[in-house]
Homo-oligomer: A and B are copies of this chain.
Amino acid sequence: MNQKTALHAFDQAVALESVGTDTFCGRSPEAYANMVGPYGGIIAATLLNAALQHDERQGDPISMTVNFAGPVTDGGYQVVASARRTNRSTQHWFIELSQQGVVAATATVLLAVRRDTWGDTEVSMPHVPPFESIDRLDIGRYLTWVKNYDFRVVQGHFDPGGAIEDTGDSLTRLWVKDLPRRPLDYLSLMAISDCFFPRIFVRKQQRMPVGTVSLTTYFHADRDSLARQGDRPLLAEAHAQRYSQGYFDHTGKLWGEDGELLATTHQMVYFKD
């Protein structure tokens, strides 16, 4: 057995090879194929990985914004990650993914060394049935990337079979974890922050051409939070705020199974109706 087959599909997907100053090579992961190109969450995690495996890395993720500028096609890509400013405890990155010299995604990342302070959470994890009590999503009817997750939809399902009517809002709550099991880290948390079906699918209960154009995730989890969470399921929730002239936003939260708010996330999505 070679080393590659021993790696989790997620780790294979986000792998980058250093090929020069600030420059890495990677390859579109077939296991995470989406409508066009790979699942956006896996591209986001790959870009974050460029900063985290860079020699100059200092600190852990605080925030990341990824802009999806065009389709990522099959085959290889180049990722350039540049630390634009390093302070005593913070570091700001600009990262860009390109194929044949054409930019397909850009990202900014803030890393920081965290320290103890007063803390509090002003929002509450909703009361929902436990992960084990809910049937697993029947992945056969969804795109390839969905096979890498165990989804248990609590509320706000999208049924591509058309069995649900427009309910007037797009709030979804679901349990999600990597499949096969994998302990949560910053990379998988970033990837999962894009795991929501497009809110307009839930709202209208129909597929249409869509694409996330900008995704921002704020990391509240530190390394201890990640270790406590391990490979247990996360509770993910999101709802749209406004749909207007070809774009809608959503705002979401990712909770650890024990009720800790691990990340908050927002995105703007293109749609064509």
Contact = CB atoms under 8 A, between A and B. Distances in A.
Contacts of A117: 243-246, 271-273
Contact of A106 (B90, B92, B249): B92
Majority secondary structure, A binding face: strand
B246 A114 contact: yes
A137 interface: no
A14 B112 CA distance: 30
Interface in A88-128: 90, 92, 94, 96, 102-104, 106-108, 110, 112, 114-123
Contacts of A90: 69, 213, 270
A216 interface: yes
B69 A245 contact: no
Stoichiometry (number of copies): 2
Interface in A233-266: 239-247, 249, 251, 253, 261, 264, 266
A242 B214 contact: no
A222 interface: yes
Interface string A209-221: 0000110101010
Nearest first, the 10 A-B pairs at minimum CB distance are A114-B245, A69-B85, A65-B65, A69-B92, A63-B214, A218-B249, A119-B244, A85-B103, A121-B242, A216-B216
